[in-house]
Structure 1
């Protein structure tokens, strides 16, 4: 029996090691191989008036058509990109900037750029701000160039920046025409104000950007900022354009993806995913791990599309009517010292001029209750684990958030949660301990049967089962509490690894973030020590001594890099089990088998 148990645990350990060192690296972000990033040249027959990105600018302002060249929207390359005070963390200052030609990497067809109207104003930044965020919208294309969340700190201690510093995110409008897709990214919009900064007593504010393009086309984007909201209302108006021979649809495009915000760069990058809600089903796609051909549009009633990192999420939601489809594409991006991933998301909308569409743009944390409150099913982007685990994850998350209303320290919340779980499982644990004690009491008789039927395994098993029945002992009864704990452990691991609640949540002293590993491994050592004490209290067979010492050591190495909040919970469960075992041994001692 002991050999079989040791063999089973050995198999589990080998499986874990195989996953960690073989399977995980296969799907972890890898440094991509060099690829040809040559931008397609303008072909004869395309718009002579200047659909080429270079011709979208007055003389002397055309950007270089190189993937890694600095982005030049006006005479000062970075003026439209970096607002005052926006300094990337030191280790990413060397990121190469990209120009407009990189914006069509995710499409199989070439995207050309509608040129700005003659005499259009120079690009400038519009600041939008409420109590949750400070954003920057640039009038070149009317796209977001910065979006900082005030309540969260990122790499280097600065406010979390959701827009990658080397590219705009969107929302860009791509029109279909008889001559192919045309982006409005190069249009120079006129804004009706310089900023929207909501102060006390101001519930909302708006900024409207308007641009004229060839063919009699007028594009209007109106951004509405609400004081107590991560989301922004966007109204898109398309008028005219008969000279462009518009097609039957347009795309609202979020091309730049989402920024890496966590100190653990690889773990954050590993969590990058694209999402869409198609026909009331949430589509979850792992993108950007390798170079691949652009994916075609997926058609069907689309409720929203978005991109998420480990803790943050950007989404576009059509409000008045559903989108006709969506497109998600990703690619790895090679940096001098590290890897990155870029995921582009598009909504396909029906097009008729004149047209007015309303959208909701969410740029904020992966917070279940917040996402659920919008009523569009955005909470489907929250990773709650396997389908069978999701109800437990949801209940556990609700419990943590509810307790946090009364207890400000999430570490103490976890301790209280472990006490509650232990109380709920007390009757089952009591029966389990009695079963373990019963097995210990039967040990002499079991050894006698083994000696008596050592050459007849069938007879031995029959006699053993009869012995268990006569003594009223279930040999598997001792495993029940552990089996019941496993779903909770998996749920907690999922919650601590992918929801915002425990991000940057301190406990005591050296533990300043319960979503990260213990930097000094104090909690893993305590967990292993409590497991050792617990095992010694229940060990009755001296032959199990090696097993008692091996398992805590093995689990220490398996769990040492898991979130410290999870280790704290498991350590507390061990401590409470030790207390219950001491109580059991004192008041319900082992009775010798008759």
Structure 2
């Protein structure tokens, strides 16, 4: 490749590598989905209602009490206690605690709203984290012992069970402790989140909306995306032992961290457009009388997650370059502390990253210069020794060594930049910090796409200018393919968060300015090459 290239978005090799990476990852995921299709959701023996709760067919005695005689009177079903709820509210959240399993209902985030302006709420037919003993909901007698502490006591099959649920205002999380008499087979609790469908599933105009199960098994973080599931499509994935279990989008999560002497099994399930995480403790052979968890329902704010438990930061799910994303995220928060605007923080972060990568871009530019200088000699060698590959390679290496030209020195900077590019992409696209945060003018939400597509179009124009400023020795076919890159990337950015398109536009603009000065330097120092 014999181009003068120095900035990622003006560098044909970078663009080619980026496009190949996108298509390669997409193709690989498509291949895996065909070769290893998801297992269908397990069939439930009892019929299920719209809310997902099982309904059992009435017995003959219930249908015809007279036919059962005195036996019916002797086997009258136990009276179920009426459900009682206890409310809590502060400046950030409000919720209810139910006597059914001491579960949390109507948990509402007062400082966050959805696209329609409604407050974010973790709502389901069953209470979040309600306790089940031997697969039956425990009906507690509840006492509110403090502003945000609830203690429930119950007797199940002659065995006593006590659960204490405490809401920590500083971390916006729950501490759950359950003590019980020996003899229970299982204790379990569930977390829920409505299954979200992305606004767009097109490859050219993708949605950045994510939803996935994340859990830690044997110290290893694992995840399963469910954003691509169709309407009413089922999903089931189990883990025999998990210390962290969660279901969440890129901005909000419902999670449980195990703090017991026994590690629970986890079942991740999607059914009736509801995603659930079932956390179950097998107590048959366990010699314990207490289990405890930390439960979090809320936004993925990094410092809050870390304060509750370090494992909880894994729900951020920055991907394979997460360690780079975490560093970039800290830098962006630092920039926000200086400028007080998340849009300006993104611009500052982009400039800092481009400045750090500048030496590598210059190295790539110098390598392209050297390769362009020796290209006529290399073409002559290929023509002269086209029938003798060994001699051709030998002469080629000799010419490149004589002129200090090494094509790998131009590829290495690209390999360094690609991980940073994807890490920055995930850090900006998945950060609750920019959720519904305004920039200037028409950009009222950096986590939502540009309503007038100004930044995607500006980015495409800037990429086109970079290509025109970059001298090239590509053949006409390659040049035509490269000319479609700005159009392809513009289409790709149309539906992505405006914070991402702002980053890409500023990065491309930096590249144009950088290209201008490098070309100017080349003309001053070496008119013949220019």
Aligned mates of 2:310, 2:516 — CA distance in 1: 51
In the other structure, the counterpart of 1:344 is: 277
Which of 180, 204, 209 aligns to 2:152? It is 209
Cα deviation, residue 323, structure 1: 2.4
Q: Give the Cα–Cα distance (whole angstroms) in 2 for the partners of residues 576 and 9 of structure 1.
A: 16
Whether 1:189 and 2:141 are equivalent positions in the alignment is yes
User: Are residues 467 and 423 of structure 1, via their aligned partners in 2, closer, same or farther at CA, if it must alter by over 3 Å?
Assistant: same
Which residue is 1:46 aligned to?
A: none
Tell me which residue corresponds to 1:252: 188
Q: Verify the 8 A CA contact 1:124 1:139 in the aligned structure 2.
A: yes
Counterpart CA distance in 2 for 1:260 and 1:439 is: 53
For the residues of structure 1 that align with 2:194 and 2:308, how far apart are their CA atoms? 23
Query: For residues 576 and 502 of structure 1, do their structure 2 counterparts lie closer, same or farther at Cα, with a shift above 3 Å needed?
Result: same
Distance 2:308 2:262 in 1: 18
CA shift, 1:21, in A, is: 8.0
1:126 aligns with 2:86: yes
- C-alpha displacement of 1:487: 0.7
Residues 331 and 409 (structure 1), Cα distance of their counterparts in 2 relative to 1, 3 Å cut: same
Deviations 1:86-136 (A, max 9, x none): xxxxxxxxxx4344549xxxxxxxxxxxx997594x323211223332111
Shift of 1:23: 4.2
Give the secondary-structure state (helix, strand or coil) at the position aligned to 1:515: coil
The answer as to whether partners of 1:135 and 1:147 remain within 8 angstroms in 2 is yes
For 1:353 and 1:308, locate their aligned partners in 2 and report how far apart those are by CA, in whole Å.
Answer: 33
Correspondence for 2:220: 281
CA deviations 1:134-159 (Å, max 9, x no partner) are 11122233222211112221242111
Equivalent residue for 1:509?
441
5+ residue gaps, structure 2: 3-10, 57-75, 202-206
For the residues of structure 2 that align with 1:33 and 1:311, how far apart are their CA atoms? 28
Could you give the per-residue CA deviations for residues 407-446 of structure 1, whole angstroms, max 9, x where no partner exists?
Answer: 2222211211121112222222223222323333444444
- Quick one: distance in 2 between partners of 1:8 and 1:580? 16
The offset of 1:353, in angstroms, is 11
Quote the Cα distance in structure 2 between the aligned partners of 1:527 and 1:450: 39
**Deviations 1:364-403 (CA, angstroms, capped at 9, x unpaired):** 22233322222352222321211xx232122112212222
Residue pair 1:209, 1:221 contacting (<8 A) in 2 also: yes
Which one has the bigger helix percentage? 2
Give the corresponding residue for 1:592: 528
Q: 1:345 to 1:307 in 2, by over 3 A?
A: farther
Which structure is richer in relative contact order (CA contacts within 8 A, separation 6 or more)? 2
| Number of positions where the alignment pairs a residue of Structure 1 with one of Structure 2 | 487
Superposition pairs for residues 387-536 of structure 1, below 5 Å? 389-453=321-385, 456-536=388-468
What SS does structure 2 have at the residue aligned with 1:440? Answer: helix
Determine if contact 1:139/1:191 at 8 Å carries over to the other structure: no
Q: Does the alignment pair 1:159 with 2:119?
A: yes
Distance 1:133 1:253 in 2: 22
Q: Secondary structure at the match of 1:170?
A: coil
1:286, distance to aligned residue in structure 2 (A): 5.3
Q: What secondary structure is seen at the aligned counterpart in 2 of 1:157?
A: coil
Q: Is 1:382 matched up with 2:330?
A: no
Shift of 1:547: 4.6
How much does 1:457 deviate?
A: 5.0
State the secondary structure of the residue aligned to 2:180: strand
Alignment counterpart, residue 359 of structure 1, candidates 293, 310, 327: 293
Deviations 1:282-316 (A, max 9, x none): 34355796657885x725xx534333333222223
Please give the secondary structure, in 1, of the residue aligned with 2:433: coil
Find the aligned partners of 1:390 and 1:431 in 2 and give their Cα distance: 27
Q: Which position in structure 2 is the counterpart of 1:329?
A: 268
Give the C-alpha shift of residue 361 in structure 1. 1.6
Q: How far 1:491 moved relative to its partner?
A: 0.8
What is the CA–CA distance in structure 2 between the aligned matches of 1:148 and 1:220, rounded to whole Å? 26
Where structure 1 has 5 or more consecutive residues not aligned to the other structure, the ranges are: 40-65, 69-95, 103-114, 175-180, 197-203, 240-245, 334-339
Q: 1:67 to 1:347 in 2, by over 3 A?
A: closer
Tell me if 1:581 matches 2:524: no
Between 1:441-450 and 1:140-149, the stretch displaced more is 441-450
Alignment check: 8 A CA contact 1:489 1:566 kept: no
Normalising by structure 1, report the TM-score. Answer: 0.70
- Hey, what does 2:171 align to over in structure 1? 229
Q: Are the aligned partners of 1:504 and 1:515 in contact in 2 as well (CA < 8 Å)?
A: yes
- Name the CA shift for 1:158/1:262 in 2 (closer, same or farther; >3 Å): farther
Q: Which residue of 1 aligns with 2:106?
A: 146
Shift of 1:34: 10
TM-score (norm 2): 0.77
Q: CA deviation at 1:502?
A: 2.9
Aligned-pair CA distance for 1:212: 4.5
Residue from 79, 97, 106 that aligns with 2:51: 97
1:499-550 Cα shifts (integer Å, max 9, x gaps): 4233223333333333344344332222222222112222143745435423
Q: Distance in 1 between matches of 2:465 and 2:288?
A: 74
Find the aligned partners of 1:482 and 1:551 in 2 and give their Cα distance. Answer: 17
